[in-house]
Amino acid sequence: MSQSEMHAPDDLLALHAMGDPLPAAMGQHVALCPQCEGELNQWTGLVATGRTTSPADMPVEPSPLLWGAISDELGLGQQLTAGTSEEPLAEVVNLDSRRRWSTGWLVAASVAGIVGGAVLTTGGVALTDSDPEPTPIAAPAVVSSASLAPLPQHQGDGAAEIVETDAGTELIVDVSALSSGEGFYEVWLIDPDTFQMIGLGALTDTSGRFPIPDGLNLSRYTVVDVSLEPLDGDPVHSTDSVVRGELST
Amino acid sequence: MTVVMERSHRATVGYVSTRPLPFDPDASTPTSAHLADVATDASVGVSFADGEEWALEEAYKRWGALIHTVALRATGNPHDADDVAQAVFVSAWRGRHRYSPDHAALPAWLLGITKRRIADHWESRSREQRKVDAAGHASEVVPQTEDSVEQVADRVLIADELSRLDQPQRQIMELAFFDDLTHHQIADRLAMPLGTVKSHIRRSLMRLRSRLEVDGVAV
């Protein structure tokens, strides 16, 4: 088979689309061969689009809360939680499926908070149960607190408190029975209006204390979120939130 | 050109997850626990059509940023883009019986839905605007055409793939695509032999195309 009868190699066509001339015999073949012409058109299209691409075309991640909103609207995970135990987790996700995400997850979080609180006091599994007198005299002043409830398709619960201590403002997080997975848990404060978030650090035990940066406006960052983060060196929220709750005074 | 929408029916290696896997998928036996992590794009599509919830979540992880970015470009507003992206995944899941993995890649199908949800968005904006206009506060609502949605999707996919290239391929391709330099100019700029530049470009283009699932790839 002579060169003019062979189909043009893909990589030659690719370089041709970028402006390189083809070997003469190959050029004659491509001009007459519908298959090669089709291939070349594909490469030319890719290169043309590539040349209109700019650094501004990089993908932009959606809000890390968006998945929870989708999951909430669709009522995902109900089959998993319904009937597995008397734990009222199903109520967390069994919300009006038509609710849109602008308010959906916050309502879910607050409903879950109520339910989660019930678990904390009756379930016998939470850390706080071991201390029937949770307010010693020297306790730091509690500024606000939140019950943490599982996101759909996750398990676990917990509580969070913003406290004033001699050392400054801290967030105390207590969790129990969190969904396990690859990676580590990270604690975040989220502004529910702008979806901006502050990563406070890794939660390596069932309890953790996290200093709040000076100047952080706690009237804006009112949502406590514990996410599961892969060990990939990427500092951005994984969007895989496990439990969450809204702080209230 | 429509890189995404004109897709071969053959299952190919697809647009990969935006996150690296937190473990070596070859190191352990696939189980339901990390089914999603080792699934190919094609198998995510099949499981999606079968109504397996993990596939929806995985589809969101793999293509949520793409859908959101396309919506962001069309609406110009992150909140609206999140609303559109939410509507896309919700309607995709509710309409999953209409998705045929044999006929389209899942991201291509999702982008088709994205176009419709963006159109819905502009329609509702126009309705609101007419009310506002009737009240005497005219301003502009500028919807984008369907073509631009596809073009945006193509560019976002290419930009994303370029960002995944190792150096020096990435720099070379950016000079070729962003700066429109010829192979000779790139070789001069980087003080690199012309053959080396061409070799990098050739390999990068092959990789780009396999990732972008362009239709008509020769077997």
Residue with tokens 């290169």: A47
Contact A69 B86 (CB under 8 A): yes
pLDDT for A103: 29
A236 touches chain B (CB under 8 A): no
Q: What is the mean pLDDT of residues A97-123?
A: 33
Residues B173, B151: Cα–Cα separation, whole Å: 19
Confidence class of residue B23 from pLDDT cuts 50, 70 and 90? very low
Which are the contacts of A50, defined by CB distance < 8 A and separation ≥ 6? Answer: B158, B173, B176, B177, B208
Is B117 in the same domain as B207? no
Q: Closest by alpha carbon to A172, among A184, A154, A183, A158?
A: A158
Q: Verify that B133 and B182 share a domain, yes or no.
A: no
CB pairs < 8 Å spanning A and B: 163
Average pLDDT along chain B: 75
Q: How remote is the C-alpha of B43 from its chain's centroid? A: 17
First to last CA, chain A: 83
Q: Which is higher by pLDDT, B61 or B210?
A: B61
Question: Are residues B136 and B175 located together in one domain of the fold?
Answer: no
| Of the candidate ranges A18-22, B87-91, B191-195, the one whose mean pLDDT is the lowest | A18-22
> In sequence order, which ranges of chain B are alpha helices (DSSP H)?
35-38, 41-49, 53-75, 78-94, 106-134, 146-164, 169-177, 183-190, 194-212
CB contact under 8 A, B158 and A230: no
pLDDT value at residue B170: 93
Answer whether B187 touches A (CB < 8 Å): no
The pLDDT value given to residue A192: 78
A166 vs B43, more confident: B43
Both B219 and B175 in one domain: the answer is yes
- Which of the four pLDDT bands, split at 50, 70 and 90, describes residue B122? confident
pLDDT at B10: 29
B22 pLDDT band, cuts 50/70/90, is very low
Q: Give yes or no for a contact between A186 and A199, defined as CB atoms under 8 angstroms apart.
A: yes
On the question of pLDDT at A1 being above 80, the answer is: no
Instruction: Tell me, yes or no, whether B140 and B103 share the same domain.
Output: yes
Contacts of B197 in chain A (CB under 8 A): none
Note whether residue B99 is domain-resident: yes
Which H or E run contains A45? Answer: helix A34-52
State the CB neighbour count (10 A cutoff) for residue A146. Answer: 25
Domain check: are B103 and B208 in the same one? no
Domain for residue B97, yes or no? yes
For residue B160, tell me if it sits in a domain.
Answer: no
> Nearest-CA neighbor of A47 among B41, B82, B206?
B206
Residue A127 confidence (pLDDT) above 50? no
Do residue B172 and residue B215 come from a single domain?
Answer: yes
ipTM attached to this prediction? 0.70
Do B200 and B141 lie in one domain? The reply is no
Cβ separation B208–A46 shorter than 8 A: yes
- Provide the number of structural domains found in chain B: 2
End position of a domain, from candidates B145, B175, B208 = B145
Q: Does residue B159 sit within a domain? A: no
CATH number, domain containing residue B120: 1.10.1740.10
How far is it, in rounded angstroms, from Cα B219 to Cα B214?
13
Q: Are residues B112 and B64 in the same domain?
A: yes
B155 vs A38, A57, A102: nearest CB:
A57
Decide which of A203 and B139 is more confident.
A203
What single string gives the DSSP state of each residue in B22-85? SS-TTSS---GGGHHHH--HHHHHHHHHTT-HHHHHHHHHHHHHHHHHHHHHHHS-HHHHHHHH
Q: Is residue B5 part of a domain?
A: yes
8 A C-beta contact, residue A45 and residue B1: yes
pTM tops 0.90? no
- Reported as a single tens digit per residue, the pLDDT across B138-186 is 555 555 555 567 778 888 888 888 888 888 999 999 999 999 999 999 9
- pLDDT band with cut points at 50, 70 and 90 for residue B38: low
Chain B contact set for A19 (CB, 8 A)? 182-183
Locate the domains of chain A by residue range.
3-57, 66-246
DSSP at B7:
B
Residues in chain A: 249
Q: How confident is the model at residue B9 (pLDDT cuts 50, 70, 90)?
A: very low
Q: Does B93 touch chain A (CB under 8 A)?
A: yes
Q: Note the pLDDT of residue A178.
A: 87
Instruction: Give tens-digit pLDDT for B78-107.
Output: 999 999 999 999 999 999 999 998 888 888
Instruction: For residue A188, name the pLDDT band (cuts at 50, 70, 90).
Output: very high
CB A120 within 8 A of CB A128: yes
More confidently predicted of B127 and A130? B127
Q: Is the pLDDT of residue A71 over 90?
A: yes
Give the pLDDT confidence score for residue A66 in this predicted structure. 94
Q: Tell me which residue of A234, A77, A93 sits closest to B57, measured CA to CA.
A: A77
Quick one: B118 and B11 in the same domain? yes
C-alpha span between A96 and A221 (Å, rounded): 26
**A84–chain B nearest CA distance, Å:** 18
- Out of B1, B20, B206, the one facing A14 most closely (by C-beta) is B206
Whether residue B64 is predicted with pLDDT greater than 60 in this model: the reply is yes
CA distance B115 to B71: 8
Contact A224, A192 (CB under 8 A): no
| Region of residue A141 (phi > 0: left; psi between -120 and 50: alpha; otherwise: beta) | beta
Tell me the pLDDT band of A81, cut-offs 50, 70 and 90.
Answer: very low
Residues B169 and B116 in one domain: no
Highest mean pLDDT among A72-86, B13-27, B63-77: B63-77
State the residue for tokens 């066509």: A13
Range of the domain at B208: 165-219
Task: Select the residue of B23, B182, B205 nearest A14 (Cβ to Cβ).
Answer: B205
Select the residue from A10, A43, A65, A66 to test the B interface by mutation, using most B Cβ atoms within 10 A. A66
Pick left, alpha or beta for residue A231 (phi over 0 → left; psi -120 to 50 → alpha; otherwise beta): beta
Q: Is residue B213 part of a domain?
A: yes
What is the end-to-end Cα distance of chain B in Å, rounded? 21
Q: What is the mean pLDDT of residues A152-165?
A: 86
pLDDT for B57: 92
Is A63 in CB contact (< 8 Å) with chain B?
yes
- B65 plus B118 within the same structural domain: yes
